[in-house]
Structure 1
Amino acid sequence: MRDFHFPGRSPVLATHGMAATSMPAATLAALDVLRAGGNALDAAVAAVAVLCVVEPASTGIGGDCFCLYAPAGQKKVVALNGSGRAPAAATIDWYEKHGIAALENTSAHAVTVPGAISAWETLLAAHGTKGLDELLQPAIAYAEQGHPIHSRVANDWIGAIPKLQKNGTHKFLPNGGAPKMGDMFVQAELAATLKAIAKHGSKAFYEGPIAADMVAALRARGGLHTEADFAAGRTAAQFVDPITIDWQGRQVWQCPPNGQGLLVLMILGMLEGYGPAPDGALGTTRLHRHIEACRLAFRDRDAFLADPGQVEVPVGKLLDRSYLEELRRMIRDDAAMKHMPAAGESALPVHADTVYLCVVDRDGNACSFINSLFEGFGSGILAEKSGVMLQNRGFGFRLERGHPNCIAPNKRPMHTIIPGMVTQDGEAVMPYGVMGGHFQPMGHSLFLTNHFDYGLDIQEAIDLARIFPFKGKVQAERGIPADVIDRLNRMGHAVEHVDKPHGGGQAIFIDRKRGVLVGGSDPRKDGLALGY
């Protein structure tokens, strides 16, 4: 239990249903759906559609989606991959011929065909009880009538001004700058697009005038996209077999590659051999071990992770217990590793924006849902007639011939967004997630061990200060104690403070013995958990 002398908030408790999102309007939209008889998946789609309007730096219908869903009473976890693909013309030969050695985050070449709308429709057809015609209405209202800008959204917007200026996205720079907290922001073109999707489904997005507008915006900036690429994107979302690891008598679930959820399972598998560290959740030993396990997992990510539809990804080998034990033996408690035996630190940028939400309904269906443009405002390319901001997920590709994650026609890039789910005895225990680009595997594993290893309640486990090894540095939030930072530096870590906190997260614990839902939402964002 938290110390009530200090700032913070308690976990949220409810019995019938609960939603946790990064914006109050989205949480309320989800609860409205639950109270109107919809299930957890219906509520999640309504909530994420609202987030695509009111948190535009982090997510949008021009982005991608992944979902884990645990249907009540079925003792299974369903995974959906809603990530988009590169254009059919995106060959490494083309990039080499044109002297392009690296992708730029604001380039049309960093844009893959958005997968979110395909994913929403596919999920609802399989597991929902309501349609897009009903579930998109709250989002349409916010886009058409406007919504007030919240604090974290306003802060993120300021950081994206150069990107928006570079790509001429003036509609998102009212009066030449970012809107301030409390300013109203209207997206009339996006409202019209959402109305078309509500009426005609995904066909309205991937074919016809809306798709033509997106293609025109990309072609005008040198993109290789065609309307045929977008038409093919309508059926891109796929149900896939989730991956899992047994951990402390529970099962932790992730979507398989091309997402990086595999790393969560690897980190947990390495750390389980230790048990809780003797110095507690913010102790030097605990953080050092976690940093080193993360470094090893990211080494393997950058060597192997790619689209399994086009290359072989050795998931079984990477999750093999003997292999994880071998990795754990590389970690010394008295010093940081100076050299990795194979691929080094990630070459990808750390800063990214995403939304994560989770919902549990009265029947016990549990939904873990993540939707993203990748970096803030994605590519910064706006299809102006349709109001669609386009992602820059293709920035996750490499232009390195022969690398598993090299760009190729109709290929999915290595993806950072990862929803999480915990089950026990076949039943959902907790949908959870921690957003934040490349930080997400570290965030997932920190949160889970905070709660299950160190006994922090759901909200405390989300709140606790975070740390992340990246590009040879260890990026620490300001809440990491100074003496711990000093000891980590003396062990060989190069610790630096970060300007922006690491990610944000939500979780709902299902206490089946007492019939209670326990939720938490990250103070690093503007949202909250609510139940009824």
Structure 2
Amino acid sequence: MMPLHTFRLRHVKTVFILSLSLLFTTTSSLAYDRITGESFATRSEIIAQNGMAATSQPLATQVALDVLKSGGNAIDAAIAANAMLGLVEPTGCGIGGDLFAIVWDAETKQLYGLNASGRSPQSLTLEHFKEKGLDSIPKFGPLPVSVPGAVDGWFMLNERFGSRSMQELLAPSIEYAKTGFPVTELIAYYFEMNQARIGQYPGFTDTFTINGKTPKKGEIFRNPALASTYEKIATGGRDAFYKGDIARVIGSFMQEQGGFLSYEDMAAHYSEWVAPVSANYRGYDVWELPPNGQGIAALQILNILELYDIEGMGHDSAEYIHTFVEAKKLAFEDRAKFYADPTFNQIPVDWLISKEYAKQRQQLISPTKAAKRVDAGKNEGDTIYLTVADKFGNMVSLIQSNYRGMGSGMIPTDLGFVLQNRGEMFAMEDGHFNQYAPGKRPFHTIIPAFVTRNNEPLMSFGVMGGGTQPQMHAQIIVNMIDFGMNLQEAGDAPRILHSGSSSPEGSIMTDGGYVSLESGFDYKTRRELMKKGHTITDVNGAYGGYQAILFDSKNKVYYGASESRKDGQAAGY
């Protein structure tokens, strides 16, 4: 039978004219031959005593394990893995982008948050966009480029928690960049997609192709320019990137391309330690970072869901999916209005994630009718997420991105990486919290997450995928706490995605947005949702990418899980 995800519903009326054969579809995501666990699980969890790493690319996971086995801690391993991902998965991350992290420090028994996101150029003003007749910031080219914060994030993490030198941590990536590595399937696909987006910009062909073509699955890809850049960072420290030759090359290149990011912008950059914020969901404390990221949207969703008997509804029920989508709409209305750089605005974070506010918002949800007013924001953007835990009890939740896959297309001469286009996320409306301003951090989609119970570490996790992330964070928690799924099952379970007033493919507009259900949900469920007024459209590949580690304090072991929809791997020792 044909799987559900092959159906593309391009017009509202077609939602109601699905073939009867769909009623009897057996979806490809089910694994009926498994003898334990949920039928949709792709594999068992990984279990190990001494350390665990879960990343979106197996070679990066192996680099992290090598660091752990040699005596390094989780923070060391996370930095090394992130550097490796910048080489092997440049389609989602790299040192031209930003970084956020949550760290559980076993010594102090506390969580620490790091916001390593960069700011807009000081010389680029809102008036420049208006003079050009732009009502939004372009997706690609020089204008959406903001300061890349990832490298500073590495050094902040290393200085506070690390036990190994940056020379040691970058050495594996430098060697792989010089000698090459085989490209994995999904990353090869994204290479080709990004060539269509940004292949016309200077440096793409020289840096990211083999004889003019993007590397295919299994081909050996090398990036000697990135090896050289990493070597400069390893020996010269963070200032080699922000105040040395690398920063000068970036400033000169951007000026040549008609951009505004300058050497002075690079030299002025700094990251910030921030206090993670939490909401308790049925006895579990779920932690996110405060804005300029969107993490608190997951907490807002969970606070509303906690007011319902979600377990009694069942995972595959129209009642649960309807309730989830309506809670998401409410949280994302607040996201669109309030989430921005807190340096420029007073953001009512404590109120937004309070139980009292959730009760007020819940009153707006009808159990039988989908709400039609919503501004759900954007769901686009590729990212990497990784998590590492060590034998000392440290755990790291780290996420890093260029935005829109490979970023802006601005590839500074002979440096081996692309600068991010995160500035595209700024709003242009007068008075908006996220309105563009010089030296301002844009609204960010990438969010790491953590769970504690009784003030002890339980779980480090994240789900890549632009605006899908808060939705998927909430679903992972619900899957585990309400529906009793294990760490791998919670990630493999079919997912719910609500997108804004235009369809995910941009083909049609509708009030109330679109609900997309991953293959694995029953057609009866879809039909019941349509009766409630939801517009259903199928999308492919938009449901994010999950990695997670859970600590079992009773048996003193780590469980690891990795995303079946990506090329990733969880492994321990």
The CA distance in 2 between the partners of 1:205 and 1:369, in whole Å, is 21
Contact residue 433 and residue 506 of structure 1 kept, 8 A: yes
Higher mean alpha-carbon deviation, 35-44 vs 480-489, is at 480-489
The CA distance in 2 between the partners of 1:145 and 1:65, in whole Å, is 27
In the TM superposition, what whole-angstrom CA distance separates every residue of 1:411-452 from its partner, at most 9, and x where no partner exists?
000000000000112111001111101100001001111111
Contact residue 20 and residue 519 of structure 1 kept, 8 A: yes
For residue 58 of structure 1, the aligned residue among 92, 95, 100 is 92
| Letter of the structure 2 residue corresponding to residue 102 of structure 1 | S
- Matched with 1:231 is 267
| Letter of the structure 1 residue corresponding to residue 136 of structure 2 | A
- Matched with 1:187 is 223
Superposition deviation, residue 107 in structure 1: 2.3
For residue 518 of structure 1, the aligned residue among 559, 563, 570 is 559
Higher mean alpha-carbon deviation, 260-269 vs 312-321, is at 312-321
- Matched with 2:446 is 417
Q: Secondary structure at the match of 1:313?
A: coil
Matches within 5 A, 1:310-325: 310-325=344-359
1:100 aligned onto 2:134: yes
Higher mean alpha-carbon deviation, 376-385 vs 25-34, is at 376-385
| Letter of the structure 2 residue corresponding to residue 457 of structure 1 | N
1:14 aligned onto 2:14: no
| Letter of the structure 2 residue corresponding to residue 356 of structure 1 | Y
In the TM superposition, what whole-angstrom CA distance separates every residue of 1:128-158 from its partner, at most 9, and x where no partner exists?
1112111001111121111111011112222
Superposition deviation, residue 313 in structure 1: 1.1
| Letter of the structure 1 residue corresponding to residue 246 of structure 2 | I
Contact residue 465 and residue 542 of structure 2 kept, 8 A: no
1:364 aligned onto 2:393: yes
Matches within 5 A, 1:336-485: 336-340=370-374, 344-346=375-377, 348=378, 350-471=379-500, 472-485=513-526
Contact residue 81 and residue 239 of structure 1 kept, 8 A: yes
How many residue pairs get aligned? The number is 524
| Letter of the structure 2 residue corresponding to residue 227 of structure 1 | Y
| Letter of the structure 2 residue corresponding to residue 406 of structure 1 | Q
The CA distance in 2 between the partners of 1:364 and 1:513, in whole Å, is 14
Q: Secondary structure at the match of 2:402?
A: strand
| Letter of the structure 1 residue corresponding to residue 142 of structure 2 | A
Q: Secondary structure at the match of 1:517?
A: strand
Contact residue 217 and residue 383 of structure 1 kept, 8 A: yes
| Letter of the structure 2 residue corresponding to residue 210 of structure 1 | I
| Letter of the structure 2 residue corresponding to residue 248 of structure 1 | R
Q: Secondary structure at the match of 2:551?
A: strand
Superposition deviation, residue 73 in structure 1: 4.6
For residue 205 of structure 2, the aligned residue among 160, 170, 179 is 170
Matches within 5 A, 1:65-214: 65-168=99-202, 169-171=204-206, 172-214=208-250
In the TM superposition, what whole-angstrom CA distance separates every residue of 1:189-231 from its partner, at most 9, and x where no partner exists?
1100000101111111112321122223322222112110011
Superposition deviation, residue 100 in structure 1: 2.6
| Letter of the structure 1 residue corresponding to residue 200 of structure 2 | K
The CA distance in 2 between the partners of 1:258 and 1:424, in whole Å, is 26
Q: Secondary structure at the match of 2:278?
A: strand
- Matched with 1:490 is 531
Superposition deviation, residue 170 in structure 1: 1.4
Q: Secondary structure at the match of 1:77?
A: strand
In the TM superposition, what whole-angstrom CA distance separates every residue of 1:363-385 from its partner, at most 9, and x where no partner exists?
11111011111111011221131
In structure 2, the CA distance between the partners of 1:501 and 1:398, relative to structure 1 (3 Å rule), is closer
Superposition deviation, residue 495 in structure 1: 1.2
Contact residue 407 and residue 420 of structure 2 kept, 8 A: yes
The CA distance in 2 between the partners of 1:160 and 1:483, in whole Å, is 38
The CA distance in 1 between the partners of 2:132 and 2:185, in whole Å, is 43
- Matched with 1:530 is 571
The CA distance in 1 between the partners of 2:143 and 2:537, in whole Å, is 32
The answer for unaligned runs of 5 or more in structure 2 is: 1-30, 501-512
The CA distance in 2 between the partners of 1:202 and 1:401, in whole Å, is 36
In the TM superposition, what whole-angstrom CA distance separates every residue of 1:317-338 from its partner, at most 9, and x where no partner exists?
2112111111112222222112
The CA distance in 1 between the partners of 2:528 and 2:182, in whole Å, is 44
Superposition deviation, residue 473 in structure 1: 1.3
Aligned CA RMSD, in angstroms, stands at 1.5
Superposition deviation, residue 288 in structure 1: 1.3
For residue 251 of structure 1, the aligned residue among 278, 281, 285 is 285
Q: Secondary structure at the match of 1:374?
A: coil
Q: Secondary structure at the match of 2:192?
A: helix
Q: Secondary structure at the match of 1:8?
A: coil
* TM-score, length-scaled by structure 1: 0.96
Contact residue 129 and residue 137 of structure 2 kept, 8 A: no
Superposition deviation, residue 161 in structure 1: 2.1
Q: Secondary structure at the match of 1:103?
A: coil
Contact residue 381 and residue 404 of structure 2 kept, 8 A: yes
In structure 2, the CA distance between the partners of 1:333 and 1:525, relative to structure 1 (3 Å rule), is same
Contact residue 164 and residue 173 of structure 1 kept, 8 A: no
Matches within 5 A, 1:239-318: 239-318=273-352
Contact residue 194 and residue 405 of structure 2 kept, 8 A: yes
| Letter of the structure 2 residue corresponding to residue 195 of structure 1 | E
Higher mean alpha-carbon deviation, 3-12 vs 88-97, is at 3-12
In the TM superposition, what whole-angstrom CA distance separates every residue of 1:220-261 from its partner, at most 9, and x where no partner exists?
22211211001112xx11101111112211211111110100
The CA distance in 2 between the partners of 1:496 and 1:175, in whole Å, is 39
* TM-score, length-scaled by structure 2: 0.89
Contact residue 92 and residue 406 of structure 2 kept, 8 A: yes
Higher mean alpha-carbon deviation, 326-335 vs 110-119, is at 326-335
Superposition deviation, residue 277 in structure 1: 4.2
Q: Secondary structure at the match of 2:418?
A: strand
The CA distance in 2 between the partners of 1:497 and 1:217, in whole Å, is 41
Q: Secondary structure at the match of 1:160?
A: helix
Superposition deviation, residue 275 in structure 1: 3.0
Contact residue 305 and residue 405 of structure 1 kept, 8 A: yes
The CA distance in 1 between the partners of 2:152 and 2:227, in whole Å, is 18
Contact residue 248 and residue 263 of structure 2 kept, 8 A: yes
In the TM superposition, what whole-angstrom CA distance separates every residue of 1:154-197 from its partner, at most 9, and x where no partner exists?
12222222212232421323333322100111111110000010
The CA distance in 1 between the partners of 2:152 and 2:346, in whole Å, is 25
In structure 2, the CA distance between the partners of 1:158 and 1:483, relative to structure 1 (3 Å rule), is farther
Q: Secondary structure at the match of 1:389?
A: coil
In the TM superposition, what whole-angstrom CA distance separates every residue of 1:107-133 from its partner, at most 9, and x where no partner exists?
211111000000000111011111211
Superposition deviation, residue 462 in structure 1: 0.4
Higher mean alpha-carbon deviation, 514-523 vs 271-280, is at 271-280
The CA distance in 1 between the partners of 2:259 and 2:497, in whole Å, is 34
| Letter of the structure 2 residue corresponding to residue 170 of structure 1 | T
The CA distance in 2 between the partners of 1:264 and 1:505, in whole Å, is 15
| Letter of the structure 1 residue corresponding to residue 376 of structure 2 | E
